[in-house]
A and B are shown apart, each in its own frame.
Chain A
Amino acid sequence: MALLQEADRKVLKEKFAELKNPVKMVVFTQEMECQYCKETRQLAEEVAELSDMITLEVYDFVKHQEIAEEYNVDKIPATIIMTGGDDPKDYGIRFYGIPSGYEFSSIIEDIMMVAGGETGLGAEMKAWAAALDKPVHLQVFVTPTCPYCPRAVLMGHQLAMESDMITADMVEAIEFPHLSNKYAVQGVPRTVINETIHMEGAAPEPMLLAKLKQAA
C-alpha cells in the first residue's frame, strides 16, 4: 500500500517542479528491516519517484558497512539529504528514525533547501558559522506529533548546510530510547549540542546562536 496519497503526490510534484539542482536521498536500512526501516525506505522511494531531480540510494546497514562508515551513519533507519548529480555534496544533514507526522515536512523543506543552494539563515548566524574552526554536532530530538519540532530540525539542517564544520541529526526520541535516556530527553524538541550543551524548545536564531557559542 502506498504511503503517500494521490493528493499528497500532486502537491509534492508541483512543489518539486521548482527544483533547479539535483538532490540525492540516501537511506540506510537492513535486510531484516528494523522498526520503521521499511516505512522509511518506502517513503523515500515514493518521494524520489515524484521528480527527475531527486535520486535515491538505498544501502544495507550491515552489508554495506563501509558505506555507512563513509557517511558516518551509526544507527538506522537513517536518511540523508544531499546535493546529487555529477558533483555530489554531503552537508551532514541526517534523519535518524522515520520522518513521519510533522517531520515529513522537514524532509521536503530540506530537499527544497539543498536544491536551492541557500540556507536562508540570518547574517549573524552565517558569520558565526563561517568563522567556525572546530566541529559542531547538533542532535535534535523530536516526536512525530510535535508541531514545534520541525522548526528546530530545520534550523539544525540549515546550519549543517551552511558550514562544513556542522552536522545536524534529527533523532526520533521514541525509536532510540537509549539515546533519549542518555541525553535525558523527556520533552521535545530538545537540541543537544556537542554532547554537553542542550536547549529546550524551538528557539529563534539569536537564542540558538548564544547556545552554539557556549559549545564551540
Chain B
Amino acid sequence: MFRELQFPKHQSYLRDWSNLEDWTNLKKMNLNMDLGMGLSNLGGPKEYDVIIVGGGPGGASAAIYTARADLRTLVIDKGLTAGALGITAKISNYPGVPGPIAGADLVEIMRRQAESFGAEFLTDKVVGVDLSSHPKMVMAGTDTFHAKAIILATGSMGRTNTVKGEAELLGRGVSYCATCDGAFFRDKPVAVIGNNDEAIEEALFLTKFASRIHLLVPTPAFKARQVLTDEITHHPNVTIQMGVRLKEIVGEDQVEGVRIQPRGGEETVLPVNGAFVYLQGGQPITDYLMGQVETTEAGCLSVDAEMQTSVPGLYAIGDLLCSHIKQAVVAAADGVIAAVAVDKFIHGRNKIQTDWK
C-alpha cells in the first residue's frame, strides 16, 4: 500500500500523523506502513522533459505551453496559497479575466488549463536540485525526478534578512523543519513564527511534541486556508499572537527565548526552547539551488532574452528576476517565453506551433 502512503500532498502527511500519541508510535508507523516514504523513487527517478518549480502564474503558464508542445511536464508547487498571487484576495486587472477574482482561483484556472494539455502537478516542496547531472535532478520532499530542462518560477516571497541570533542558533533550537526536528522539543515550549499554510501545518505537527506552541503571526490576519486557521485557533496547546514582529532569537549556546514586539507595544522576551521560522518577505526564493547558480547582489537570477540562466537548460521567470514588474501577467508572459525556449532546447525547434497559422 505504500503508493497510497507516499504523501502526495504536503498537508496530508501532516494530517496522517495527527492521531499519533508519541514518537514511538510514529516510528512504528513508519516501519509498518511508511517505508514507502523513501521507497517511491526506487524504480529510478521519474523522467520528465521539463520540471517547473513553482505553480504560480509564471509556472502554470509555462506548463500550458510545454504540455501543449507534447513535452512531458511536471509542476512542483508548495500549495495554491504559497505564492504572491495565491494570497491576493482580489485581482481585477488580469487581461481577459475581468474579476474581481481571488488570486488562488485565478491560479487554479491556469493549472486546470495546463492539466487539460497533460501537465502534471505535484504538491510538494523542492528541497534541492543537482544541475551538474544529466539529465538534471530535482529533489522534492517525497520523491526525486529527472528532467532535461528546468524552469524556476518560485517567486519572491523569500525572506530578506535573518534576525539577530537566528544564524548563530541554527540547529541549536532554530529550525525550519518541524517534521525533521519536532522530536527534540518534547515537553518544551516552542515558538512558530509565520502566517501561511506552512507555518500553521508545522505548528500543528509540533503539538505532538511541544508542551506549548506560541504561534507568532507577523500580520494582523493569517494568510492561509480557512480549514487550517480554524484548526490551529481551536487547539488547546497553541497560543496565538497576531501582529507580532520577531526582533531577535535569544540564547547563549541554545535558544532560550524570542524577543518580540507587538504592534504599538513594548518589546518582550518570550521564553521558548525552539524557534521554528516560516517568515516570508520580498526576496527571490533560491535557497534550494544551494549556490549552484549565481545570483545578483539583490539575490535575483539573471537570464538572457529567452529566460535561460547561465546553466544551459535552466530557465528562470517571473519575480525571480529583479528587472521585472511584479505582476501576474508579466510572470505569465515570461513563462511562455521560457516554454518556447525549452521546446527549442529539447527538440531543436525554431518555433512553437501556433493557432493562427
Interface residues of A (CB under 8 A from B): 1, 3-5, 7-8, 11-12, 14-15, 36, 39, 43, 98, 100-106, 108, 122, 143-151, 173-174, 180, 184-190, 198, 200, 202-204, 206-207
Contact = CB atoms under 8 A, between A and B. Distances in A.
A104 B39 contact: yes
A187 B171 contact: yes
Nearest to A122: B132
Contacts of B182: 145
A121 to B, nearest CB: 11
B142 interface: yes
B292 interface: yes
A122 B37 CA distance: 27
Interface of B: 1-3, 23, 26-27, 30-39, 41-43, 127-128, 130, 132, 139, 141-142, 170-175, 177, 179-185, 253-254, 274, 290-292
Contacts of A105: 37-39, 41-42
A48 B12 CA distance: 32
A146 B43 CA distance: 21
A187 B290 contact: no
A100 B33 CA distance: 10
A138 to B, nearest CB: 16
Contact of A143 (B1, B39, B183, B254): B183
B39 A200 contact: no
A5 B128 contact: no
A148 B34 contact: no
A37 B3 CA distance: 27
Contact of B32 (A3, A174, A200): A3
A5 B37 contact: no
Nearest to B133: A120
A63 B173 CA distance: 40
A145 B180 CA distance: 6
Contacts of B254: 184, 186
A61 B43 CA distance: 35
Given A3-B35, A145-B179, A15 B42 contact: yes
A8 B2 contact: yes
Contact of B34 (A12, A101, A174, A198): A101
B31 A100 contact: yes
A98 B31 contact: yes
Contact of B171 (A11, A146, A150, A186): A186
Find the residue from A4, A101, A145, A187 having the highest chain B CB count within 10 A: A145
11 contacts: A1-B32, A8-B39, A105-B37, A143-B183, A144-B26, A148-B128, A148-B177, A150-B38, A174-B183, A188-B181, A198-B171
A115 to B, nearest CB: 14
Given A189-B180, A206-B291, 17 more contacts: A3-B31, A3-B35, A7-B2, A14-B43, A36-B27, A98-B31, A100-B35, A101-B27, A122-B132, A148-B127, A148-B180, A185-B184, A186-B181, A186-B274, A200-B170, A202-B127, A204-B128
| Nearest 8 A/B pairs, CB to CB | A105-B38, A146-B180, A187-B171, A101-B30, A147-B141, A200-B171, A100-B30, A104-B38
A10 B172 CA distance: 41
A8 B36 contact: yes
B326 to A, nearest CB: 29
Contacts of B181: 143, 146, 186-188
Contacts of B42: 11-12, 15, 105, 108
Contacts of A15: 42-43
A187 B180 contact: yes
A144 B170 contact: no
A108 B180 CA distance: 21
Contacts of B2: 5, 7-8
A4 B171 CA distance: 33
A108 to B, nearest CB: 6
B128 A151 contact: yes
Nearest to B273: A186
B37 A101 contact: yes
Given A102-B38, A108-B42, A188-B181, A202 B128 contact: yes
B27 A186 contact: no
A203 B287 CA distance: 11
A162 B128 CA distance: 23
